[in-house]
A and B are shown apart, each in its own frame.
Chain A
Amino acid sequence: MGAVNHSLASLLSEIDSEKYSKKRQEIRDSIVSSIYSCAETIAGKVVHHQYERRTELDQKIDNVLTSRMLGIPIMLILLGAVLWLTVTGANYPSQMLAVGLFWFEEQLTKFFLLVGAPDWLHGVLVLGMYRSLAWVVSVMLPPMAIFFPLFTLLEDLGYLPRVAFNLDRYFKKACTHGKQALTMCMGFGCNAAGVISCRIIESPRERLIAILTNNFVPCNGRFPTLITLSMVFMGGAVAAAYSTAAATVMVVALVLVGIAITLLMSWLLSKTVLKGIPSFFTLELPPYRKPQVGRILVRSLLDRTIFVLTRAVVVAAPAGAITWILANIYIGDLSIIGHLAGWLDPFAHLLGLDGIILMAFILGLPANEIVLPIMIMSYVSAGAMLELDSLNALRMLLVDNGWTWLTALSMMLFSLLHYPCGTTLLTIYKETKSIKWTIFSALMPLGVAIIVTLVVAQLAFLLGLV
């Protein structure tokens, strides 16, 4: 065997060095052009066009959707419309779900009292597990059930390649691959899915950049947090009639911040650790297709909504129990959460946050969905019992705990920019097969989140805005 391999190796090096090497590119071009002309000949015999290939209507739509003037504004309007529908549509069912689920909590409590269950059991199971489940479901389900089908609709129509087309020159300026716009869009659904979709990028350098920065667009685990806080603080700041509009503007602004940071960090990475030039590619604008509405509804509901929700619920239940335990075991005159929060407090205040929020982000590493529930539970268990069945009650609770608009803004920015969830990190490891890059993919966004919130909060303090 060795001998065979040896002679093969010498043959290969002969091929490598010999006359062939000079003509290699020439041969390659000749091969490709032979294939193309063969395809052309065959197609000429079997295909008969009555009109030109792309219909005129498609062409006209594309001229508008991808024009220099209108392309980006239309994109923003579509993004705004999708988010507005999500915010408005989610509000009412969210409240209904909350009322229903908290009504059931009362029944559970009555049942526990009836059978004389010990307090701690009631605490762990009902106040811990059930309550965080109820929160996750009522906060997450409605926005997801609206956002996912709308997003899938745009995807099926064929709009995403147009987005990539519009954003191409920005990504090129950031020295990265234009297809990163597509992978970024997939991140809106779920960052883990976004990271996997980076496989469409051929060059390893650009693919790595796309993977590392995918986290800067909010996934569906974080959208509800952003929407809820926008509704509570930004929506509450203006007249009721405009509150959803204000909240939508806020969320759109945050998404734009995320995209800006994506471009900025991509540029920084390609100027420092991942140096290189953007590679050339051709992006095909596929024809618009009539979406299959029924199938979209079913698939996006079953495949995505239920999938993401199940994952959130699986993580939320134990996290809720652990949070309750931490909040109710006292060391000295403070609960464990109190100690942890107190310890994190000084640093958190620098960022415009507080210790509990920071702790919720740390405990929320497995899934971003549970950050808000953990935070609320920590507040609730430390103070008086509250029924959080409306946004107003939530606002009261937060204000009672010293929240200002700056706290809300800082938390939203931190949520937008901080490290990806556990699932995404695992996916990044699987895709890069590198512990180094996986750790980097957690620390780099964390650094960005800290710097951005620090600057925003310190500016606000300095200017006396708070």
Chain B
Amino acid sequence: MTTTETPGFEVDPALHRTLENARVNVELDNGDMILNLGPQHPATHGTLRLVVRLDGERVVAADPVIGYMHRGYEKLSEFRTYPQITTLINRIDWLSSFANEVPFVSGAEQLMGVEAPPRAQWIRTILTELSRIATIYLFLGEMGLQVGALTPAFWGFRDRELVLNLIEGATGGRFHPNFNRIGGLKDDLPWGWISECRATMDKILKGCDDFEDVLVGNEIFEARTRGIGIIPGELGAAYGVSGANLRASGVDWDLRRDGKPYLAYPEIDFKVWTHPDGDSFARYWVRLQETREAVRMVIQLLDGLPAGSIMAKVPRIIKVPEGEVWVEVENPLGQMGYYIVSKGATGPFRVKIRSASFSNVSILPWLLRGVYVPDVITIMGSLYFILGDIDR
């Protein structure tokens, strides 16, 4: 190894070139071993490829190779109209599709000077929190899978279906609702949805207790996650790590509370959970608490749901006036932002999509240096990324 102070992967270009075109999975080089995980590997959660250089059992350097899911959203957005783009950006972070739509639509609304009516804002908040539950719930189960516990994964899939049913009941789409319109929502909530939602929230709370009973305090789980993969808060912020990953490092920063006020968050009471440790366990614990907090928020929102219309007055053909806007929200995976540049046409001139997982994963070369090979999997699991959110 040449240097240690610069981030990234420090092999010489010729060797890296060989790795890029590697046809075999394992190569031997100067006593260190290069191990290639992925792009399609059960432990990499999709199509992330990770090239790690090992010295015995210890990782000397790691280099994530991304782009296997790069679909060119930013370019395609320049060729679509605003209503068409909401269809597209559903699929960035495919586990919390609804939460992806909200910042884009609210950005377009800010440019147009339109504000969605209160009821639409509250329903948006409810569905955002539901998609947060659906996203994190899968994590809570899969994190058990990383350390060899199969049962929580099945629980995660089972109870997640209940939340998906709610989203489907309200929006018509199980995965990609495409429910937001510029100026409001497509439909109102169906009859009976609210009582069903309350019942489901009770089940989710009970599911969280189950996860906690099985994993937190479990000796194997604690041994595999405590003190593993520690992200210092300051460094994490400089890398752009956000969301629960940053809050698990003791940084008390949540855009729902601290950012520009959006949706109905200023009007409800919730706690932002942090954990001082910054290790894999802290990330699990913070997400567990966030799920419970989300349930609390949904119940509050259901209690205070205002009446009224769900759609503001917008022109039939959406033309967004000239301007630039930066919108950022707290998505289940972290900070999601859009920098929309409009030139007064029916489509944006440029959309910069700031997705959470991209920055969350960019810390991996630093984070994986010096850890053992089995911990690579738990650390990657605990960071919790979605490939579409990395590659866009």
Whether chains A and B associate is no
Residues of A within 8 A of B (CB): none
